[in-house]
Amino acid sequence: MTATPPPSGRVPAGPVTGPAAIRTVGLTKRYGSVTAVDGIELDVPPGDIYGFLGPNGSGKTTTVRMLLGLVLPTAGTVEVLGARIPKHARSVLHRVGALVEAPAAYGHLGARANLSIMDAAGPGGSRRTRRARIDQALEQVGLAGVGRRPVKAYSLGMRQRLGIAAALLRKPDLLILDEPTNGLDPRGIQEIRRLLLDLNASAGTTIFLSSHLLAEVEHLCKRVGVVDRGRLVLQDSLAALRAPTGSVVLRTPDPEWAVGVLDGDLRERSGDRLVVRATDPAELNARLVGHGIRITELTEQRRTLEEVVLAATTGSSDRVDAAVPPTVGPRAEVLATDDSAWDRPPAGPPVPLPTRPARDTFSWPAGRDTPEPGPGWQPSRSEPARSEPARSEPARSEPARSEPARSEPARSEPARPEPVRPAPDDRRPGQSQPGLGSQPSRSGSAQPPDGRSQPGPGWQPSPSDSAQPPDDAEVDPGGSAADRAGSDQPEARSEESA
């Protein structure tokens, strides 16, 4: 049978550069100044289960979209099943089943109606076998008895199963799955794992799997690639990445004796767990048992996939920490837990405490009468007089109170006898007649010029002397309280002068 040549201007579909199921060379994608994918070179052979790992924001989903022709690369080339993407995507995409992020479906329709619409889109879906293929796909993912229930009533796990059924509808040669077990419970994860392993073993389906569940990747994948910040930093077989490290992990109830026997081969100790440098676990076991040391566990040390990924990546790109403000001035001193700055004297000379000058005088508050100073009082010179600002208080208007008039009975006072005045010649012993140019003492009282006593020329009454009342005035021997207070003061001064 002679092969028909292809029409002019068309490139035949099929492998053109080798048998690789997926191959990228210098694959790059930029969004403005942001480089999402930077020169990734993938190599996935046919029949392989490839795990595509990396932190969030590292470019995994963008790479998957470029493999399917949903996003155009900025630079580099993509080959899927031997055909260039996106130039020859129509010729090979019907052989590719894909699930990218969350599956999409019409909520008001059931599972079979949605799968019928998806199968009718694009070439490769035969109408005669559509119903049988839909029933088989639903049975594979565990949705055979879903009936006509609309998709909007499905749980997250049921929608995820429906998306996997849509990827299996055409019996693809390549499955590209992005987080296929998202939303599934442990039993559902186990069912999908068995389904993928069965497809790979029975039909030779190549599976390109992107997931954060490293334990599932260890159970499923044969080769892994680790991407970090848009770059492929690691690509190797899982067996090579988890190869023995050259150490043996053992547990013994006699750790002290084991340490003495192992000498310098001990790498790490944590209780009864010992990590020993040894290439042959059987020889190490015989050596320890020969010295009477009991062994409860002995295994080769291997790195887990989690340790491999964490060692190859730098961090999650979707984490945005708050900016730390720069330190201004001297740095704060870091103290130990048992040390305190209060227990130590400050550096440098001691700082004197502020003092207040002693107050020698006492200032009475405003509004109170200042008492008369006592004998020998002198004003203080230590501080000047303080003038307090006048306080203006608003006038308070009180309502007038009308009180009934009180009638008091008239009081009759007995007649008071007039005091006997001494004659002009009756003077005290030792008192002399004032002469010319003499002035009377301040303690004395001024005598009115009534002819009985004539003062000399130049005589003036003292301002502090009180005038004698006229002869015809009535003199109250008791007097008022103000008169008694005024009359007692000159006598006190005269006693002090005496």
**What local confidence, expressed as pLDDT, does residue 121 receive?**
83
The CATH superfamily assigned to 22-239 is P-loop containing nucleotide triphosphate hydrolases (3.40.50.300)
**What local confidence, expressed as pLDDT, does residue 458 receive?**
58
Rounded Cα distance between 430 and 442, Å, is 17
Rounded Cα distance between 99 and 69, Å, is 14
Rounded Cα distance between 186 and 171, Å, is 26
Residue 481 backbone zone (phi > 0: left; psi -120 to 50: alpha; other: beta) = alpha
Give the distance between the most distant pair of CA atoms in the chain.
183
Rounded Cα distance between 166 and 156, Å, is 16
Give the pair of three-digit tokens for residue 299. Answer: 């295994």
**What local confidence, expressed as pLDDT, does residue 459 receive?**
59
Instruction: Give every residue of the chain whose pLDDT is below 70, as ranges.
Output: 1-19, 317-318, 324-498
Rounded Cα distance between 299 and 380, Å, is 98
**What local confidence, expressed as pLDDT, does residue 347 receive?**
61
Give the pair of three-digit tokens for residue 286. Answer: 């015989």
Q: Is the Cα torsion angle 295, 297, 300, 304 positive or negative in sign?
A: negative
Q: Is the Cα torsion angle 58, 64, 69, 70 positive or negative in sign?
A: negative
Closest residue by Cα to residue 441 from 487, 375, 376, 490: 490
Question: In three state form, how does the secondary structure of the chain look?
Answer: CCCCCCCCCCCCCCCCCCCCCEEEEEEEEEECCEEEEEEECCEECCCCEEEEECCCCCCHHHHHHHHCCCCCCCEEEEEECCEEECCCHHHHHHHEEEECCCCCCCCCCCHHHHHHHHHHCCCCCCCCCHHHHHHHHHHHHCCCCCCCCCHHHCCHHHHHHHHHHHHHCCCCCEEEEECCCCCCCHHHHHHHHHHHHHHHHHCCCEEEEECCCHHHHHHHCCEEEEEECCEEEEEEEHHHHCCEEEEEEEECCCHHHHHHHHHHHEEEEECCEEEEECCCHHHHHHHHHHCCCCCCEEEEEECCHHHHHHHHCCCCCCCCCCCCCCCCCCCCCCCCCCCCHHHCCCCCCCCCCCCCCCCCCCCCCCCCCCCCCCCCCCCCCCCCCCCCCCCCCCCCCCCCCCCCCCCCCCCCCCCCCCCCCCCCCCCCCCCCCCCCCCCCCCCCCCCCCCCCCCCCCCCCCCCCCCCCCCCCCCCCCCCCHHHHHHHHHHHHHHHHHC
Which residues are within 8 A (CB) of 74 and not within 5 positions of it... i.e. 6 or more apart?
Answer: 28, 29, 30
Under 8 Å between Cβ of 168 and 162: no
**What local confidence, expressed as pLDDT, does residue 493 receive?**
45
In the block, tokens 């566990």 appear at 297
Whether residue 255 has a cis bond before it, omega within 30° of 0: no
Rounded Cα distance between 224 and 220, Å, is 10
Residue-range domain boundaries for the chain:
22-239, 243-312
Output the CA–CA distances (angstroms, integers) from residue 258 to 33, 292, 295, 302, in the order listed: 59, 9, 10, 22
Give the pair of three-digit tokens for residue 14. Answer: 């099929």
Under 8 Å between Cβ of 39 and 74: no
Which residues are within 8 A (CB) of 319 and not within 5 positions of it... i.e. 6 or more apart?
Answer: none
pTM value is 0.59
Q: Are strands 223-228 and 49-53 parallel, antiparallel or unpaired?
A: parallel
Task: Provide CATH code, domain 243-312.
Answer: 3.30.70
- What pLDDT digit, counting tens, does each position of 283-325 carry? 999 999 999 999 999 999 988 899 899 988 887 766 777 776 6
**What local confidence, expressed as pLDDT, does residue 67 receive?**
94
Rounded Cα distance between 37 and 317, Å, is 13
In the block, tokens 């979707």 appear at 318
Rounded Cα distance between 180 and 199, Å, is 15
